[in-house]
């Protein structure tokens, strides 16, 4: 064996039958020839990266910032889930550094650093929630709490707003700086970026601008009625005696002043118990930010008499109804005509009028409309058909009276149908073809107006109808006087905000209607008939997607989500044994297997049911639209 300069590598190879043993010895001493030992035990040791400067784009990829610094791709974490958005993050020159996050409850980042004193900078932006209180969490550095009950939205006053939190004189523990995000008291903890550098003699400038930036401030209006859900509106109609609360935002960063009727004044941001009289009440607020800049906004609260008496469907049952736009069956003849006469949008110079009738049976709800309009025109398509001569039907099967977002909560339905039945839309967002979900509609029309019949299956509405049941309900009629834009709108019970709030819908009550068969217990629908997904479309910020299905026997159930192109997205139910009966407990939160939010679009929901009694397998598919 020869001696050579540098590192000496000696290889000994011995073959015994089919067993190989390899040993490598490194000799770095140039003064003598190393002695080779045939038996060598090799131990691989991972040497941790030790650095006094760390910059990590948490949840994201490599990022060069506007200051010339390079932020590494996400690393050094334990637990949590990565999530990215494409929205522009303001209050910073480096929006891309805030468009990804790691979230969880809890999760940690650990960094090896030399001995010394360090400055830790944590960068945040609220990328999901739209109100304060939705995400609240603690942050600990080496076991010491540095942020307690931290709420990003409350701190910045907005989503997609950058903010940095700097912590000075941090000493490593055992050569480590460990940052724990969580526990959270609301939703999950999160962070967008982490920087660690030696403690500077003065605060280090960062790409993030000051949280309170000078400029023209903005006001976002919010109104709450009778303790219900907050609605992003600056005008609302409320019944006499209602308790209306006005709560504009931003939540922090300035001062507020109010003026209103009867000499009302206040310096609070959120005002409740405000003086209201019949008719229009205007309250004006002025927001002054930290730079002294001001913005103002007027809130209009119109007080009206109590909601009219609810509609009661007491006419004869809908036996033998044919959806043909004629309404010549005896059941329609005996039903009560309810006038649609309240002008809630625009003007009505041509005296457009109309009314509707309602029927029901164990299969469906029926709405028949008789509209007097000599200026019919329908040139707008799909969800622009509110500008057509058209009708709108509103249903709130949960009857939550505006306490939940509408539409988007479970049981919310808003149908728009043009007078000629060629254009239709669901929930002001999704075009629906005739017959979609079993819905049927047809019309006849002439120079005087039109007649329309609409059949909506209870299965589509995801309820089992019973005598005496009450649901939120309204009917509106749009007219354009022969032009291409809506001129006015008539309502039966609600107002112009029906399309975004169920607060002023009327009621529909199911009157006496015996089953058309002599069977005491109705036969439950088959699996094929019963399987559907609601709400559809679904807004994940307002509701999860619910799967409804009925199985005759105990069955093994699987539910999977796919893209339209067939790529697997999520397994919702994996071969779960379910008892016979109706099931609505399975939900999808519009996230993939990695816990990341899926994009807006259309997805396939595939249900597989293996009957434990017969051994047969049924596979069904439904399309679901996700709208964020």
Instruction: Give me the pLDDT at residue 363, please.
Output: 87
Instruction: Give me the pLDDT at residue 102, please.
Output: 96
Instruction: Measure the CA dihedral 248/251/255/261, to 10°.
Output: 20
Here the tokens at position 291 are 């730079």
User: Reduced to 3 states, what is the DSSP secondary structure of residue 89?
Assistant: coil
Q: Residue 454, exposed/middle/buried by CB under 10 A (0-12, 13-18, 19+)? A: buried
- HSE-up (13 A, CA, CB side) for residue 353: 4
Instruction: Give me the pLDDT at residue 524, please.
Output: 65
Here the tokens at position 564 are 């339209």
Q: Which residues are within 8 A (CB) of 523 and not within 5 positions of it... i.e. 6 or more apart? A: none
- Distance separating alpha carbons of residues 347 and 436, to the nearest angstrom: 34
Handedness of CA 612, 614, 617, 620 (dihedral sign): negative
The second-level CATH assignment, the architecture, of 54-198 is Sandwich (2.60)
Given a cut of 70, the residues of the chain with pLDDT beneath it are 1-48, 201-215, 305-316, 434-437, 512, 514-524
Instruction: Give me the pLDDT at residue 281, please.
Output: 93
- Distance separating alpha carbons of residues 81 and 57, to the nearest angstrom: 13
Cα 549–553–558 angle (5° rounding)?
50
Here the tokens at position 278 are 């019949």
Give rounded-to-5 percent helix, strand, coil for the chain.
Answer: 5, 45, 50
pLDDT tens track for 303-351: 876 544 455 545 457 778 999 999 998 889 888 899 999 999 999 989 9
Query: Class assignment of domain 223-304?
Result: mainly beta
Cα 66 off chain centre by: 33
Query: Class assignment of domain 527-626?
Result: mainly beta
Q: How many Cβ atoms are within 10 Å of 422's Cβ, its own excluded? A: 13
Domain boundaries, the chain: 1-45, 54-198, 223-304, 311-510, 527-626
Please give the backbone phi and psi of residue 241, each rounded to the nearest 5 degrees, phi first. Answer: 90, -5
Here the tokens at position 324 are 């043909």
Q: Length of the chain, please?
A: 628
Note if the pTM is more than 0.75: no
Instruction: Give me the pLDDT at residue 585, please.
Output: 85
Please give the backbone phi and psi of residue 479, each rounded to the nearest 5 degrees, phi first. Answer: -145, 150
Here the tokens at position 101 are 């996050």
Same fold, 223-304 and 311-510: yes
Q: Which residues are within 8 A (CB) of 236 and not within 5 positions of it... i.e. 6 or more apart? A: 223, 225, 244, 300, 301, 302, 497, 503
The second-level CATH assignment, the architecture, of 311-510 is Sandwich (2.60)
Q: Which residues are within 8 A (CB) of 61 and not within 5 positions of it... i.e. 6 or more apart? A: 73, 74, 100
Place of tokens 């039907």: 393
Place of tokens 């073809």: 433
- Distance separating alpha carbons of residues 438 and 2, to the nearest angstrom: 88
């Amino acid at each position: 064996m020869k001696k050579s300069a540098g590192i000496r590598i000696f290889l000994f190879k011995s073959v015994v039958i089919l067993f190989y043993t390899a040993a490598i010895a490194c000799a770095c001493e140039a003064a003598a020839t190393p002695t080779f030992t045939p038996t060598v035990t090799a131990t691989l040791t991972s040497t941790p990266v030790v650095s006094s400067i760390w910059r990590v784009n948490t949840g994201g990829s490599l990022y060069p910032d506007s200051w010339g610094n390079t932020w590494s791709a996400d690393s050094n974490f334990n637990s949590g889930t990565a999530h990215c958005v494409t929205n522009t993050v303001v209050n910073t020159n480096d929006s891309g550094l805030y468009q990804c996050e790691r979230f969880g409850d809890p999760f940690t980042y650990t960094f090896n650093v030399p001995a010394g004193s360090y400055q830790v900078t944590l960068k945040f932006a609220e990328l999901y929630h739209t109100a304060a209180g939705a995400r609240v969490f603690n942050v600990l550095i080496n076991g010491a709490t540095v942020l307690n009950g931290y709420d990003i939205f409350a701190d910045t006053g907005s989503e997609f707003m950058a903010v940095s939190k700097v912590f000075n004189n941090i000493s490593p523990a055992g050569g480590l700086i460990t940052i724990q995000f969580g526990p959270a008291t609301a939703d999950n903890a999160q962070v967008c970026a982490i920087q660690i550098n030696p403690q500077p003699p003065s605060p280090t400038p960062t790409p993030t601008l000051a949280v309170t930036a000078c400029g023209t401030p903005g006001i976002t209006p919010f109104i709450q009625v009778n303790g219900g859900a907050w609605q992003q509106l600056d005008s609302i109609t409320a019944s006499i005696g209602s308790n209306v609360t006005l709560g504009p935002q931003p939540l922090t960063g300035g001062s507020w002043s109010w003026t209103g009727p009867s000499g009302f004044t206040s310096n609070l941001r959120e005002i409740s118990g405000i003086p209201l009289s019949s008719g229009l009440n205007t309250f004006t607020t002025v927001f002054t930010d930290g730079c002294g800049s001001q913005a103002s906004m007027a809130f209009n609260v119109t007080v009206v008499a109590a909601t009219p008496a609810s509609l009661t469907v007491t006419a004869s049952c809908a036996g033998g109804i044919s959806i043909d736009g004629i309404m010549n069956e005896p059941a329609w003849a005996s039903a009560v005509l309810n006038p649609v006469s309240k002008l809630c949008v625009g003007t009505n110079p041509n005296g457009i009028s109309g009314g509707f009738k309602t029927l029901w049976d164990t299969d469906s709800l029926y709405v028949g409309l008789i509209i007097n309009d000599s200026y019919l025109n329908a040139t707008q398509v799909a969800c622009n058909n509110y500008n057509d001569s058209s009708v709108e039907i509103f249903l709130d099967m949960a009857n939550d009276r505006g306490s939940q977002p509408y539409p988007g909560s479970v049981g919310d339905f808003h149908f728009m149908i043009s007078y000629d039945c060629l254009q239709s839309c669901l929930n002001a967002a999704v075009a629906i073809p005739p017959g979609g979900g079993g819905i049927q509609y047809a019309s006849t029309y002439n120079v005087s107006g039109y007649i329309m019949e609409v059949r909506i299956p209870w299965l589509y509405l995801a309820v089992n109808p019973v005598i005496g049941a009450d649901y939120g309900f309204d009917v509106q009629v749009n007219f354009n006087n022969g032009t291409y834009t809506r001129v006015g709108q008539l309502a039966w019970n609600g107002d112009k905000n029906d399309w975004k709030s169920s607060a002023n819908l009327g009621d529909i009550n199911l009157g006496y209607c015996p089953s058309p068969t002599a069977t005491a217990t109705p036969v439950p629908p088959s699996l094929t008939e019963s399987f559907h997904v609601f709400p559809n479309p679904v807004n994940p910020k307002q509701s999860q997607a619910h799967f409804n299905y009925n199985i005759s026997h105990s069955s093994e159930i699987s539910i999977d989500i796919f893209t339209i192109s067939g790529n697997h997205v999520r397994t919702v139910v994996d071969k779960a044994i379910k008892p016979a009966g109706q099931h609505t407990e399975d939900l999808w939160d519009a996230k993939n297997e990695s816990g990341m939010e899926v994009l807006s679009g259309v997805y396939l929901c595939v249900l597989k049911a293996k009957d434990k009694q017969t051994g047969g397998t049924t596979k069904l598919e439904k399309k679901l639209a996700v709208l964020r």
